[in-house]
Structure 1
Amino acid sequence: MTTTRSAGRSALFKFSLVLSVLASGVYQNAEAQTSYELNSGWKCTSLNSVKDNGTIISQTNYDLAAWNAAVVPGTVLTTQVANKQVPDPFYGMNNEKIPDIYKVGRDFYTYWFAKDFKEAAPTGSNQTYLNFRGVNYSCDVFLNGHKLNSKLHKGMFLRQSYNITKWLNKNGNNRLAVVVYPPDVVGNPNGGQGGDGTIARGVGIQYTAGWDWIQPIRDRNTGIWDKVTIEHTGAVAIKDPHVVTLVPGVRKPEGAQQPAIIQVSAEVENATGAAVSGTLQYNLDGKLVSQPVTLKANSKQEVKLTDYSLKNPKLWWPSGYGPQNLYKLNLQFVAGGKVSDQKSIEVGVRQITTEWNNKTESRQVNVNGQKVFIKGGNWIISDQMLRFSDARYDAEVRFHRDMNLNLIRVWGGALIERPEFYEACDKYGMLVFQDMWGSGDCNGRWIDPMKADDQWTRRKYPDDHDLYLKSVADQVKLVRNFPSLAIWCGGNEITPPEDIFAALRDTIMPKLDNTRWFIPYSNSEEMSRNVQGGNGDGPYGIQSLTTFWDHQTYPFNSEVGSVGVSDYESLKRFIPAENMVVPEFDASTGKTKTDPVWEYHKYIGYDGFIDKYGKAKNVEDFATKAQLVNYDQYRALMEGFSSHMWDWYTGTIIWKTQNPWTAMRGQMYDYYLDPNACLYGLHNGSEPLHIMYNQTDGMVMVANNTFKTHSNMLLVAKTYDMDGKEKVLTKVFADVTPTTTKRYLSLKREIEKEAKDKGIFLCLQLLKSDNEVISENIYWLPDANGDFSGLQKMPKGDLGATAKYLKNGKVEVTLTNEGNGALAFFNRLSLVNADTKQRILPAFYSDNYVTVLPGQTKKVVIDHNPGADKNLAVTIGGWNVTERTISIDK
């Protein structure tokens, strides 16, 4: 791996512009002296608009004046949106105004892309390479009048590398021209999962024909969608280095460590007509490891260096368990005293193993010998139009860390994620469960009347098995060095065809990446078996909170989730004012009447849960109450699974935590990177050391998802009525051993008595010996009828607030409930522009939707990009606290 590094239409356009800048910005990597990106100055035109071929178009004297500016990396649709040729498909019903490839034909989205660049022809034995990291779906490549590929290149995920040394113009002026064809079979977007399913006949992204959380992507992501680079080497180039770390025994994050074993290998290629002798070597932690190599003319060779014993290694751990230490390894090929090529790799020293847990009847994941309870989120893709950037990847993965999760599953209907995603996961301690391409929906697991082909036919998808296998092997090499990558999976809810699966299991994975858990499919019996036998996933809709605690689901559930509508500020970014209509739930029929735009953006119903807080007056009121439901749902979800850790479960993965467009379900933050209460309910419910309350049996419990014993803690349980009157229920000393959940006592009788008339607040705390709060959890519990009647008449809270800069890019907000009155309940903090009051996105809050008890002070730290805005303020408002804006002290 080479290290590389607001409301309405106006706000939508501004944010889209920011994304475009992020996606197309120049990011120099660690090989800046030998490699650079071709990521600006591209031009494009449709195939139908030109009659000339690539050998003519790629000559520097060919006139491109009539061509349009193009976004590369990007897609045809990305370019069309940037050039305002089509409306933004993320707003309202705009996507319906864009021609779909199924109706207009593949030629409509077949495009030429051209790029002029300066590059002098190398001298001596030096070489220059042109690299494509991803083109969808097929292409021909021309440079300076020469066709570089001997046959049509196919496959969205198959990298291309061309030695262009002899084709560079002597004057240094060069032109690259690429004709890009859409997928061979584009699929009918008929409303099914993956449309009619035929999109899966190719080796590409399946959801582009539509799914139950996204509308069809009109060009099916046709384009040069990933990075294009020019690379310089000497006679010998290093290809696809491989670093394996072995960490024997059971380790702890702290203290001295026994040695770890580092294994390094790489393919080296001599591109010249003469033999070359040299040394493949690397430096790690100040130690040099080397291997002499002699390469014949025009040859490749796999070289394995001697295993290296790393003394007292600084280990890499998942988030919540320990630090994410990374070593810099610089791999070089040296010949004649000069560096011919080098690759910089960040190495996380860790070892992933699994074992069968007989108690849960499921696999458990071990890191460095320690069992880790999996708290994960399902990830689709960062942006449906593939507008990827380092900054967006970093923000999205950071949000997952901030939810106190430790794993991200990359779903199989999308892609094998990019190195920049994995870099962020390495940084923030997110293990990755990486599906390969395929889904039960498209690939024939069950009968489906929306599909064009029968199950036997779909079971053989894709059409080109050889291309699939070549693509998998290539992508494994692309990402296998990242320590965060923990699990390979054959596909979403189904294995690939039998011959493909056998090759993956028996040949490709053992040869290319044999240290990770490879599972057949995402909910296979190899992961877990439930009491009925087999495994599965779900449910996906809103549930009673007690269900999460009491209903035993699958022991390692790869998909379970709930609702996810964001707040009113978020909704205004993509829903026109005339469509701001409150959904109407009919309890007698169990059905919801929904506005067409909400329906189009895949709204999933809250049923009667909103009405428990009082019938929504308008959309703003609805969205505010939805946040209370969101917080409760996801806190209860993770608490319920944690309460049965190592008893019923070894892990769970939420479906899902993010959206690649403006959908209204399954998200902890919206497409614009604005978090909602789902995120902070999870942040609370999955904190590493967590006190919690089972609303079914009244049991107070402590979940310890760390490797440390926590002892001599004081467990405090107290209630507050709607006026803020406090009643202490119990104070007992508590301790809990590593990676366990402990039951303490039931408060069911006392709580039901206190709550029966108006509901009650329950505050649970764990205190250290100096009375420092190390875990606090505040529940709002309903009355005897299951309604939050007291909240509906709750008196105003008295919340004082100040803000100051801790340093550039970091703001501390102090919240104080100074009176003896009611709790200041469920306060949303937002970092905003002081003049427009528009939120700064993204911003990262140490906590949010914060409740402050009478007499209590809390601090919230807000991190943001210091260059985003210089004129900042903080808005604060809650359930019973009027929103206001405060300045930030310098």
Structure 2
Amino acid sequence: MSAFRVRVALALAVLLTLSLAPASTAAPADVVTTLSEAESGTTAIAGWQIQSSAQVSATGAEISQPRYDDSRWYRVGPRSTVLAGLVQNGRYPDLFHGTNMRDNVNRADFQVPWWYRTEFHVRDRSPNTVLKIPGVTSRGEVFLNGTELGDVVGTYNAREFDISALVKPGRNALAIKVAPADPKKDFTISWIDWAQPAPDNNMGLFRDVEIARGGAVSLAGAYVHTKLALPGMGSAEVQAFAEVRNTTDRPQTVALQGEVASRWLNQVVRLNANETKTVAFTPETLRNPRVWWPYQYGEQPLYRLDLTARVNGRTTDRTGTTFGIRDVVSNLNAKGDRQFIINGRQIQIRGGGWASDLLLRTQPDRLEAQLRYTRDMGLNAIRLEGKLETPEFYELADRYGIMLLPGWECCDKWEPWTGWGGEAWTPEDYPIAQGSLNAQARFLRNHPSVIAFLIGSDISPPEDVQRMYLAEFEKVGWPNPVLPAASLNGGPRPPLGSSGSKMEGPYDWVPPVYWYGDKLGAAFGFAGELSAGHSIPALDTVRGMLNATEQEQLWREPATPQFHTGRGNEPFNNLYLFSNALAQRYGTPTSLADYVDKAQLANYEQVRAQFEANARRMTAERPATGFIYWMLNNAWPSLNWHLYSYDLNPAGAYFGAKKANEPIHIQYSYDDRSVVIVGQGPKKADQLTALAEVYTIDGKLVHSQTKSGISVSLPGLAEVFTLPAVQNLSATYFVRLKLTDGHGKDVSRNTYWLSSKPDIPDWDNSEWYYTPVSQFADLKGLAALPNASVDVRARSFGDKTTVTVRNTSSTIIPAVQLTLRKADGSQLLPVTWSDNYVALWPGESITVQASHEPARRPTVDIGGINVATQRLAATQ
């Protein structure tokens, strides 16, 4: 049916006020979905009632009757897993704090099926009404008006049911009996080692169930292929396709009319009885097309395709979609490494691994905030391993110009050939995987942000699975590259061959110099996932997510397993490697606050080094063509793998990434002391001047070096100079870099805290998840810095706050940390800062700006490793 959607977020009609299930004060008002009065249209179910089968003795035939008494059921939204629904209704409060999810959830709740029930209203019969279910975790038995329709099996295995003969004018009832989920046995969603799994294993629905109505001929889908004339991009060929379905038992002649990119489309098609046909329109040529680019390289214009199907002059269906004009090529370079070429330009992938909300809750504002964060940090891509999100995510990525790499996940039913994944596939499993791929390819095919699909994660699928998937891509007109995996494991299996993507770690702490090596996860080739592991959130977040015992253990007992690290399995269930390195390098923490302060500096330097090393080597003999930082975010409050915490609080890791990914950036190399300038944008920069200074820990300048007249192509790299090995340095010292333009205006500033006793990786004793060190750097001088004083001025107006900080002391401040708060003392989040964690020399000042939701009289906290925290009210 139509993709011309009438999305219903809330009810259009209130049936009656029902008594609530216990503790359900957060539940929405009871609703009935009213289908569109238009001749054709698609309407999303507005909400559900859910109840455990242990509390219901009725059959599906009874439950799916209109006016069945569900007054003791839980009312939930249109997209809700079982546990999300129970949280919404207050059954499990404060689920993400401390060990509540382990200690306060009754697992027996989810060992039995659950019923989903809703009612919808239609004014009159339609010759063609279709129920669209996007998938069920793990499987669902579907009933309508007392009749069983069949099963839906798998989270992503969408299915449609012709319900034309069953729908009646007035009230109709739909019920789905959802079976418990086991990621090892079912095609569902798994959290692998990212997080403690949701206790219900996400059983239920997390995308819209829809009802589509139309006439004799329906439009089952539409898509557009574009071919950009390269290299000049002076023209583009645009070809529209429509999937047309005759829903009757006699031949039909249908007139297809519409527009693609404002060009008129018109074609008459003859369909046999019950035939579905993909109709290709004549390609249209656009002169000087508006080209879609990743955001650093240009704009993100979107075009429209709109189609109408008419039979005997009467409209029977409509569909429409947006698309972008761009060219994507992914191949292997001369070194056998994966690379991506967008619109004829090779682009280094600098991405992060995506985690949906642990309960798969739809939160559009939160999604948008996270994509703003992604851009603000200078990342250009996101990898979605098995968490394929809702439509809003892809629409936002299209608009924000963030490239997406969706695909299946490892270590469960989707990838049983690893030897440590789920149960081996049976003949019955292949159609489920096949249908899932078909449905998701259709779901994703029109989004310009989607640049490839990974059919494997940690290992390439065997040949029969690859060919099965590729056949489904061809059926749906998939326009993008298909990659065998994010890893080289499994070797170059046919027909896709080598993935060209390494996955050799690390996943836990390694020193900054690691990324400049020539082995394992160091900066060369393409890496499907890797990072230096744990990211400690800011102190507010730590106190909000951990109970008192966990907070003490975090800094006093780092080898003790923490519930908020991974899923409780080794080696990611504790922070020993990170915390040991922190103590060895920065000094033994003296309190939780001291531990968090030092951790922010460590996270900052680790993340910055990873991005900087890859940027420096984008033009090396074996270039770094891209990598996915593991991870971008977390599914719930976590001490593992993130660039910003679950509560959207940016801290050291965030600002290390933001600094490294400046559009024009000056940086120091840990391996050879070279200073380079990296450009990561579409234009060339000229007449740049670079200054490098070396200071002892007490602020004495011991070396200065400058170079003028520097040019850097964007994207590109300019080698500036190499700093000498300065003798008699303090154990901890600073390197300060500054880049100015031809007018003396600052372009980039960057400060490094280094050691005359460097970190030395012990490459020969590397494990799959980390490389140990034979010598730790000595950065303890930072903790011994004298306390600094600062003068602060802050002014706020609407959604902007400007803060000026001046160092009024005689000591260096390695990182001034600024935190914005509401009038009640809680943090003002999400927030994007023009800069933060800024180094200030004596007498120096800096002015930064924060963008946030409008707030009345916010306050600003100023702190740092040698700055006593103070709070200032912003003037207005």
Local SS of the residue matching 1:502: helix
Partner of 2:859: 873
How far residue 769 of structure 1 moved from its aligned partner, in angstroms, is 0.8
CA distance in 2, matches of 1:250, 1:598: 48
| CA distance in structure 1 between the partners assigned to 2:566 and 2:482 by the alignment | 38
Q: 1:331 aligned to 283, 286, 307, which one?
A: 307
Aligned partner of residue 51 in structure 1, secondary structure: coil
Q: Which amino acid aligns with 2:810?
A: G
What's the counterpart of residue 530 of structure 2? 560
Post-superposition Cα deviations, 1:27-48, rounded to whole Å, max 9, x if no partner, equal x99x9993433233x2222113
Is 1:92–2:98 an aligned residue pair? yes
Alignment partner of 1:660: what SS? Answer: coil
- 2:212 is aligned with what amino acid? E
Gaps of 5+ in 2: 8-23, 494-499, 759-776
Residues 653-700 of structure 1: CA distance to partner in whole angstroms, max 9, x if unpaired?
A: 112221112221101112222222111111111233221101232110
CA distance in 1, matches of 2:436, 2:564: 38
Kept in 2, the 8 Å contact 1:135–1:224? The answer is yes
C-alpha spacing 1:98/1:308, structure 2 compared with 1 (3 Å): farther
- Establish whether residue 604 from structure 1 lines up as the match of residue 575 from structure 2: yes
2:546 to 575, 584, 591: 575
- The 5 Å alignment of 1:841-852 reads 841-852=829-840
Give yes or no for the alignment of 1:489 onto 2:454: yes
Change (3 A) 1:291 1:876: farther
**Which residue in 2 is equivalent to 1:821?**
810
Contact 1:203 1:437 in 2 (8 A): no
Aligned-pair CA distance for 1:595? 5.7
User: For residues 285 and 243 of structure 1, do their structure 2 counterparts lie closer, same or farther at Cα, with a shift above 3 Å needed?
Assistant: closer
Given residue 735 of structure 2, which amino acid in structure 1 is its aligned partner? L
State the SS of the aligned residue for 1:382.
coil
Question: C-alpha offsets along residues 613-671 of structure 1, whole Å, 9 cap, x if unaligned?
Answer: 33212222211211110000000011112222132321111122211122211011122
Which residue does 1:146 correspond to in 2? 147
What is the deviation of 1:68? 2.5
**8 Å contact kept, 1:327–1:347:** yes
Call closer, same or farther: CA 1:832–1:764 in 2, change over 3 Å. Answer: same
1:715-726 to 2 correspondence within 5 Å?
A: 715-720=690-695, 722=697
Measure the CA separation in 1 of the matches of 2:312 and 2:609. 64
Which residue is equivalent to 2:184? 200
Aligned ranges for residues 210-221 of structure 1 at < 5 Å?
211-221=192-202
Where does residue 175 of structure 1 map in the other structure?
173
Counterpart position of 1:500:
465
CA contact (8 A) 2:196 2:566 kept: no
Which residue identity does 1:161 align to in structure 2?
E
Structure 1 residue aligned with 2:430, among 458, 465, 481? 465
Residue pair 2:138, 2:154 contacting (<8 A) in 1 also: yes
2:606 maps to 1:641: no
Aligned to 1:420: 392
Name the counterpart of 1:403.
Answer: 377
- What is the deviation of 1:395? 2.0
From 401, 409, 434, the equivalent of 2:406 is 434
1:743 and 2:713 aligned: no
Find out whether 1:479 has 2:468 as its counterpart: no
Deviation of 1:315 (Å): 1.0
For residues 543-575 of structure 1, give each alpha carbon's deviation from its aligned partner in whole angstroms, at most 9, with x where no partner exists.
121111123436211121112121221112221
- Which residue is 2:820 aligned to? 831
What letter corresponds to residue 433 of structure 1 in structure 2?
Answer: L
Match of 1:53 among 47, 56, 59: 59
Summarize deviations over 1:62-108 as a string: whole Å, max 9, x none.
Answer: 2222222234411111122223334544222222236676xx497x4
Q: 1:79 aligns with which of 73, 77, 85?
A: 85
Matched with 1:538 is 505
Q: Kindly tell me: are residues 181 and 444 of structure 1, through their superposed partners in 2, closer, same or farther at Cα, counting changes over 3 Å?
A: closer
User: What pairs with 1:596-635 in structure 2 (closer than 5 Å)?
Assistant: 602-605=573-576, 606-611=578-583, 612-635=585-608
The equivalences for 1:342-421 within 5 A come to 342-358=318-334, 360-379=335-354, 381-411=355-385, 414-421=386-393
Structure 2 match to 1:194? none
Looking at structure 2, the residues matched to 678 and 797 of structure 1 have their Cα atoms a distance apart, in angstroms, of 24
Query: What pairs with 1:188-267 in structure 2 (closer than 5 Å)?
Result: 199-207=183-191, 211-250=192-231, 257-267=233-243
Aligned equivalent of 1:196: none
Deviation at 1:535, TM superposition (A): 4.2
Query: Aligned partner of 1:44: which letter?
Result: I
Shift of 1:714: 0.8
Asked if the contact 1:875/1:883 (under 8 Å) is kept, the reply is yes
* CA deviation string 1:146-183 (max 9, x = no partner): 33x2x32222212233344443343x233222211223
Pair 558,155 (structure 1): closer, same or farther in 2 beyond 3 Å:
same
- State the alpha-carbon separation in 2 of the partners of residues 367 and 220 from structure 1: 38
Counterpart among 97, 103, 111 of residue 114 in structure 2: 111
* Cα separation, partners in 2 of 1:509 and 1:59, compared to 1, 3 Å: closer
Give 1:522's aligned residue: 486
Measured in 1, the distance between the counterparts of 2:819 and 2:699 equals 26
Gaps of 5+ in 1: 6-16, 187-198, 252-256, 528-532
Q: Is the 8 A contact 1:20 1:387 kept in 2?
A: no
Name the SS of the counterpart of 1:608 in structure 2.
helix
Instruction: Tell me the SS of whatever aligns to 2:433.
Output: helix
Aligned partners of 1:549 and 1:643 also within 8 Å:
no
Q: Kindly state the Cα deviation for residue 275 of structure 1 after the two structures are TM-superposed.
A: 5.2
Residue 255 of structure 2: aligned partner: 279
After TM superposition, give the deviation of residue 885 of structure 1 in Å. Answer: 3.2
Shift in Å at residue 226 of structure 1? Answer: 1.7
- CA offsets, 1:714-740, max 9 Å, x none? 111124555656677122121223433
Distance 1:217 1:306 in 2: 49
Quick check: 1:812 aligned with 2:801?
yes
- Distance (Å, rounded) in 1 between the aligned partners of 2:566 and 2:431: 40
The whole-number CA distance in structure 2 between the counterparts of 1:33 and 1:731 is: 69
Conserved 8 A contact 2:857-2:874 = no
1:885 paired with 2:840, answer no
Distance 1:316 1:797, change over 3 A: farther
Residues 248 and 368 in structure 1, CA contact (< 8 A), matched pair in contact too: no
In 1: Cα distance, 2:619 partner to 2:284 partner: 36
In the alignment, which residue of structure 2 is the partner of 1:677? Answer: 652
Distance 1:43 1:593, change over 3 A: closer
Give the Cα separation in 2 of the matches to 1:631 and 1:245: 41
Q: Does the 8 Å contact 1:584/1:593 carry over to 2?
A: no
* Alignment: residue pair count: 816
In 2 relative to 1, CA 725–819 (structure 1 residues): closer, same or farther, beyond 3 Å? Answer: farther
What are the Cα deviations for residues 734-766 of structure 1, in whole angstroms up to 9, with x where unaligned? Answer: 12234333322111423x64xx22533322122
- State the TM-score, normalized to the length of structure 1: 0.84
Q: Work out the CA distance in 2 between the residues paired with 1:822 and 1:4.
A: 62
Query: Which residue type is aligned with residue 827 of structure 2?
Result: R
Partner Cα distance (1:354, 1:837) in 2: 49
